[in-house]
A = this chain, B = another copy of it.
Amino acid sequence: MSEFSTAAVYRARQAPARAHYDHAMAHAILDEGLVAHVAFASEAGPVALPMFYVRDGDRVLIHASRKSRLMRALIEGASLCLTVTLVDGLVMARSAFHHSMNYRSVMVHGRGTCLPSAEKEAALALFVERVQAGRSAEVRAPNAQELKATDVLAIPLVDVVAKMRTGGPLDDAEDMALPVWAGVVPIESAYGTPIDA
């Protein structure tokens, strides 16, 4: 099982037992999520921007309009943190303090680099493939103007931390007999019936 060589400064110190550095887990979480929150320092202070993304091997791709004021910092190579979080359940304990959530998350620290024009079209096809395999060959491909209007940033998967909590509540021994329901309420996300345009 190959591992990320995540720098010490980015490794988890809170709840380190929940942190994982193997490629397989991080890749699986990234491949299940649809939206990442990308944090960076904008002119107006820190921003957490929700963005569609796709994993491409050992990097994550995001795309954005070249006109976007917020994206300019990222395009210029600002330091960023990209986080994907999947919420799996509410953990209901016998004490208020031990309530928790089951979740899986990946945090990537790094900088994006703009893909050169020659690589953009293939990269953008991956975003369409992410929502439906085979679809990029069916839809109208981007024209020159659309390609020009869109930048694709690649963020290398180097400084990566996956975190995961699973299982039931961890109550204190003296609370185990309290007459209150304890357990996990799963949260499930699914695709509904497609709506024709």
Q: For residue A50, which residues in chain B have a CB less than 8 angstroms away from its CB?
A: 37, 83, 85, 103, 105
B52 touching A101 by the CB < 8 A rule?
A: yes
Copies in the complex: 2
Check B189 against A139 for contact (C-beta < 8 Å).
no
Residue of B39, B41, B81, B169 touching A197 (CB-CB under 8 A): B169
The contact of A93 among B9, B70, B139, B171, by CB within 8 Å, is: B139
CA distance A13 to B171 in the complex (A): 47
Task: Decide if B107 touches A48 in the complex (CB within 8 Å).
Answer: yes
- A10 interface residue per 8 A CB criterion: yes
A97 and B146 in contact, given A83-B50, A195-B168 (Cβ under 8 angstroms):
yes
Known: A92-B135, A197-B169. A39 touches B48 (CB 8 A): yes
B-contacting residues of A (Cβ < 8 Å)?
9-10, 13-14, 34-35, 37-41, 43-50, 52, 65, 67-70, 79-83, 85, 87, 89-90, 92-97, 99, 101, 103, 105, 107, 109, 124-125, 127-128, 131-132, 135-136, 138-143, 146, 150, 168-169, 171, 175, 178, 180-197
Top 3 closest pairs, chain A to chain B, by CB: A186-B192, A39-B48, A37-B37
